[in-house]
């Protein structure tokens, strides 16, 4: 295994989270590609782990924390670290220490850039991006919001601790109509997939529900709502931890429409 910086050759694979074989990744559209082009200009760093056949099997991407969906300064923030774990495509490369090596490479990189530390988010439950895994690699909890936890590894004693941006409002539950609100910043194909599916559901039901999309890459929007990626039907949050299917989203919308007597 070798670790490299992202090159143009591998950009398509990176934008599909190393899952070019996945129809779901294709369904998510080209939002991450657009996001990548914008973030390159704002200091985004991407490293890939390649197998012996020079195929990407792991990735980590991180950005100056001033450009991230958290608060802090003079630090870098990890959006995501992922090692391919499916039978399809290149196969399962998890549990081989690749994630640990990617994290180590990112730490060495940001130290060389003069950063005072590396920050990441994690989940306290045994799912994707477990905060416990980061703690095993020397990170400490610094903030928490529900099951989401902010962890960090400071490189100097004078480093100012980062903090999460907490949700400050949610969409209204308006009388006489159903409105779907999608918050997305574009970096995560899973959330892009959810938004694209929801738009198709609304179109296929004859536009009997409104759709509002909020770009949280816009810092003003992020600070106004305190939400980075989420889907709401009226004021109810839809669980998108694993992207719901088209049919599941359709049922949720129909339930909301029936509740208000709109179908």
Check pLDDT > 90 for residue 101. Answer: yes
**263 band by pLDDT with thresholds 50, 70 and 90:** confident
Instruction: Indicate whether 226 belongs to any domain.
Output: yes
Instruction: Indicate whether 21 belongs to any domain.
Output: yes
The per-residue pLDDT for range 16-59, each reduced to its tens digit, is: 999 999 999 999 989 999 999 999 999 999 999 999 999 999 99
Q: Residue 128: its pLDDT value, please?
A: 84
SS3 121: strand
Burial of 52 (0-12, 13-18, 19+ CB in 10 A): exposed
Check pLDDT > 90 for residue 182. Answer: yes
Residue 31 sits in the same domain as residue 151: yes
Over range 96-116, report the average pLDDT.
97
Q: What percentage of residues in the chain have a pLDDT greater than 70?
A: 100
Tell me the C-alpha distance between 216 and 212, whole Å.
13
Instruction: Indicate whether 213 belongs to any domain.
Output: yes
State how far the alpha carbon of 68 is from the alpha carbons of 31, 43, 119, 199, 217, in Å. 17, 11, 10, 26, 9
The answer to whether 241 and 197 have CB atoms below 8 angstroms apart is no
Which segments of 51-123 are extended strands (E)? 56-64, 70-71, 76-83, 117-123
Count how many Cα atoms sit within 13 Å of the Cα of residue 96 in the half-sphere of its side chain: 16
Residue 191 sits in the same domain as residue 236: yes
**Positive or negative: CA dihedral 215, 217, 222, 226:** positive
Instruction: Indicate whether 169 belongs to any domain.
Output: no
Domain of 143, in residue numbers: 2-164
Tell me the C-alpha distance between 142 and 136, whole Å.
15
Number of domains making up the chain: 2
Instruction: Indicate whether 171 belongs to any domain.
Output: no
Q: Residue 176: its pLDDT value, please?
A: 80
Q: Residue 247: its pLDDT value, please?
A: 97
Check pLDDT > 90 for residue 262. Answer: no
CATH of the domain at 152: 3.40.630.30
Over range 68-81, report the average pLDDT.
97
Q: Residue 175: its pLDDT value, please?
A: 79
The per-residue pLDDT for range 190-237, each reduced to its tens digit, is: 999 999 999 999 999 886 788 999 999 999 999 999 999 999 999 999
The answer to whether 188 and 241 have CB atoms below 8 angstroms apart is no
Over range 63-87, report the average pLDDT.
97
Encoded tokens for 74 = 């003079």
**127 band by pLDDT with thresholds 50, 70 and 90:** confident
Residue 24 sits in the same domain as residue 107: yes
Buried b (16+ CB within 10 A) or exposed e, 228-244: bbbbbbbeeebebeebb
Mean pLDDT of the chain: 94
The answer to whether 84 and 91 have CB atoms below 8 angstroms apart is yes
Instruction: Indicate whether 170 belongs to any domain.
Output: no
Check pLDDT > 90 for residue 174. Answer: no
Tell me the C-alpha distance between 205 and 253, whole Å.
9
Check pLDDT > 80 for residue 62. Answer: yes
Instruction: Indicate whether 172 belongs to any domain.
Output: no
**81 band by pLDDT with thresholds 50, 70 and 90:** very high
**148 band by pLDDT with thresholds 50, 70 and 90:** very high
CA dihedral 67, 73, 190, 130 (to 10 degrees): 170
Residue 152 sits in the same domain as residue 228: no
């Amino acid at each position: 295994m070798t670790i490299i910086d992202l090159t143009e050759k591998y950009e398509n694979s990176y934008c599909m989270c190393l899952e070019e074989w996945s129809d779901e990744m294709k369904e998510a559209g080209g939002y991450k590609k657009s996001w990548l082009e914008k973030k390159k200009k704002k200091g985004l760093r991407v490293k890939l782990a390649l197998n012996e056949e020079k195929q990407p099997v792991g990735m980590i991407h991180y950005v100056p924390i001033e450009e991230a969906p958290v608060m802090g300064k003079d630090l870098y923030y990890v959006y995501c670290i992922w090692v391919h774990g499916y039978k399809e495509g290149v196969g399962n490369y998890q549990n081989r220490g690749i994630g640990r090596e990617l994290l180590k490479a990112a730490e060495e990189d940001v130290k060389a850039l003069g950063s005072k530390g590396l920050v990441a988010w994690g989940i306290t439950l045994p799912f994707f991006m477990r905060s416990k895994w980061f703690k095993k690699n020397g990170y400490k909890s610094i903030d928490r919001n529900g099951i989401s936890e902010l962890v960090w590894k400071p490189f100097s004693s004078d480093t100012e601790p980062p903090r999460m941006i907490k949700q400050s409002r949610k969409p209204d539950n308006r009388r006489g109509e159903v409105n779907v609100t999608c918050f997305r910043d574009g970096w995560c194909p899973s959330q892009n997939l959810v938004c694209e599916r929801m738009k198709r559901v609304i179109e296929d039901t004859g536009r009997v529900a409104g759709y509002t999309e909020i770009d949280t890459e816009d810092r003003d929007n992020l600070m106004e709502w305190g939400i980075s990626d989420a889907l709401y039907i009226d004021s109810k949050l839809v669980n998108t931890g694993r992207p719901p299917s088209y049919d599941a989203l359709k049922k949720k919308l129909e339930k909301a429409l029936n509740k208000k007597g709109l179908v």
